[in-house]
Amino acid sequence: MAGVMAGAMADVLGGGEMTDWGQDWGHVSVLRSEAIALLAVRSGGVYLDATLGAGGHGAAILAADPTVRLVGVDRDETALEIARDRLGAWGDRVTYVHSNFADYQPEPGQTFDGILADLGVSSMQFDRGDRGFSFRHDAPLDMRMDQRQPLTAAAVVNTWDEVDLANLIYQYGEERLSRRIARRIVEGRPFETTGALATAIFHGVPASYRHGRIHPATRTFQALRLAVNGELDALDRFLEQAPTWLAPGGRIALISFHSLEDRRVKHGLRQNPDLTLLTKKPILPTEAEQAANPRSRSAKLRGAERRAIPEVTSDQSHGSKGDRPPSKYRAKRDRP
């Protein structure tokens, strides 16, 4: 199914180089055609995929135009290996960078025509038992996207004090039973595995809370994952820096999966004076996409365009008014 859809899309996009990038690589890209349309991929452009993952969005960017180049960043080395495999046919049009997007710095003088970030974890990370992101598999409490970092979920669960755990679960999990769950964790620790922790949380909440829409440990697991990977701080830093890497007219597209991310994305794009918002309301997956890929249900896509910066001619740059552009080009906020 994914291959058929990708094939159809490659036709639409004129992706003459398409190989097997549309097949299922363990992660189905969310809002893929919407994100590519929002980026309005331009010929000869250089694009940054800040969350390369299995390379699904990256492949769609490359397929959109035969002269496009892509820099793909991911903090998970395993994801990069999969992407290298999937995007191999595009050869040296792709550069791979193993980094947190918050620490990434483009080469000096490098700007991008478009930047994409598809936030959070991939299905590959979530579904692989040994990574400890999910209690669907009993695994060591790890949750690190980047295996080089020392902090694991086990360290948070087994060493943080009760108040800090409660605050974490409340703020990052938006869990109303945070205090009760934190107490239960402290009473029952040490915990080594996802299964043991999820079971303790299950038995630590009222019976009426146990069989709701989601498992009672879901929000706590989200909080732990966000803390272990510093995801929200990384997003804040990225939202500050990434727009400065865009060429004039370049676009940024961001896909978020929960309200803590989406709130940051919305305000980060709106409040940046160098950006023009392209999405007053977020773009959501179609019903068909939601039915085919339940993980897409909470996805929201937002985008913005970098305002054009007027060129300063040599006359103006030597004029008595210093480096300031003529007033008609100045943004409203700069005018006296």
Measured from the CB atom, the residue of 27 and 258 that comes closer to ligand SAM is 27
User: Is residue 54 near ligand SAM by the rule CB under 6 A?
Assistant: yes
Task: Report the 10 Å Cβ neighbour count for 75.
Answer: 25
CB of 17 to ligand SAM, least distance (A): 18
User: Is residue 262 near ligand SAM by the rule CB under 6 A?
Assistant: no
According to DSSP, the residues that pair with 303 across neighbouring strands are 253
User: Is residue 256 near ligand SAM by the rule CB under 6 A?
Assistant: no
What dihedral do alpha carbons 121, 127, 132, 138 form, nearest 10°? 160
* Beta carbons within 8 Å of 112's beta carbon, 6+ residues apart: 45, 46, 47, 48, 71, 106, 245, 246, 247, 250
Measured from the CB atom, the residue of 234 and 269 that comes closer to ligand SAM is 234
User: Is residue 51 near ligand SAM by the rule CB under 6 A?
Assistant: yes
User: Is residue 27 near ligand SAM by the rule CB under 6 A?
Assistant: yes
Q: What is the rounded distance in angstroms from the CA atom of residue 122 to the CA atom of residue 295? A: 10
According to DSSP, the residues that pair with 252 across neighbouring strands are 115, 304
Scanning 70-78, 135-143, 150-158, 171-179 for contacts with ligand SAM by CB under 6 A, the matching segment is: 70-78
User: Is residue 132 near ligand SAM by the rule CB under 6 A?
Assistant: no
User: Is residue 102 near ligand SAM by the rule CB under 6 A?
Assistant: yes
Scanning 9-17, 53-61, 136-144, 283-291 for contacts with ligand SAM by CB under 6 A, the matching segment is: 53-61
Q: What is the rounded distance in angstroms from the CA atom of residue 304 to the CA atom of residue 248? A: 12
Residue that has been written with the tokens 């999910």 in this structure? 134
CB of 220 to ligand SAM, least distance (A): 20
User: Is residue 261 near ligand SAM by the rule CB under 6 A?
Assistant: no
In the three-class reduction of DSSP (H, G, I as helix; E, B as strand; rest coil), residue 36 is classed as helix
Scanning 120-128, 160-168, 190-198, 281-289 for contacts with ligand SAM by CB under 6 A, the matching segment is: 120-128
Q: Which of 9, 41, 73, 185 binds ligand SAM (CB under 6 A)?
A: 73
List the Cα angle 200/187/226 in 5-degree steps.
65
Q: What is the rounded distance in angstroms from the CA atom of residue 80 to the CA atom of residue 148? A: 14
Scanning 114-122, 163-171, 180-188, 196-204 for contacts with ligand SAM by CB under 6 A, the matching segment is: 114-122
Site for ligand SAM in 77-96 (CB under 6 A): 79
Q: Which of 36, 61, 63, 122 binds ligand SAM (CB under 6 A)?
A: 122
Q: Which of 55, 173, 204, 303 binds ligand SAM (CB under 6 A)?
A: 55
CA of residue 272 relative to chain centroid, distance: 19
Q: What is the rounded distance in angstroms from the CA atom of residue 134 to the CA atom of residue 142? A: 10
Measured from the CB atom, the residue of 76 and 182 that comes closer to ligand SAM is 76
Is the separation of the CB atoms in 71 and 48 below 8 Å? yes
User: Is residue 258 near ligand SAM by the rule CB under 6 A?
Assistant: no
User: Is residue 35 near ligand SAM by the rule CB under 6 A?
Assistant: no
User: Is residue 56 near ligand SAM by the rule CB under 6 A?
Assistant: yes
Residue that has been written with the tokens 């397929």 in this structure? 63
User: Is residue 57 near ligand SAM by the rule CB under 6 A?
Assistant: yes
Q: What is the rounded distance in angstroms from the CA atom of residue 281 to the CA atom of residue 322? A: 40
Is the separation of the CB atoms in 193 and 140 below 8 Å? yes
Contact residues for ligand SAM, defined by CB under 6 A? 27, 29, 51, 53-57, 73-76, 79, 100-102, 118, 120-122, 145, 234
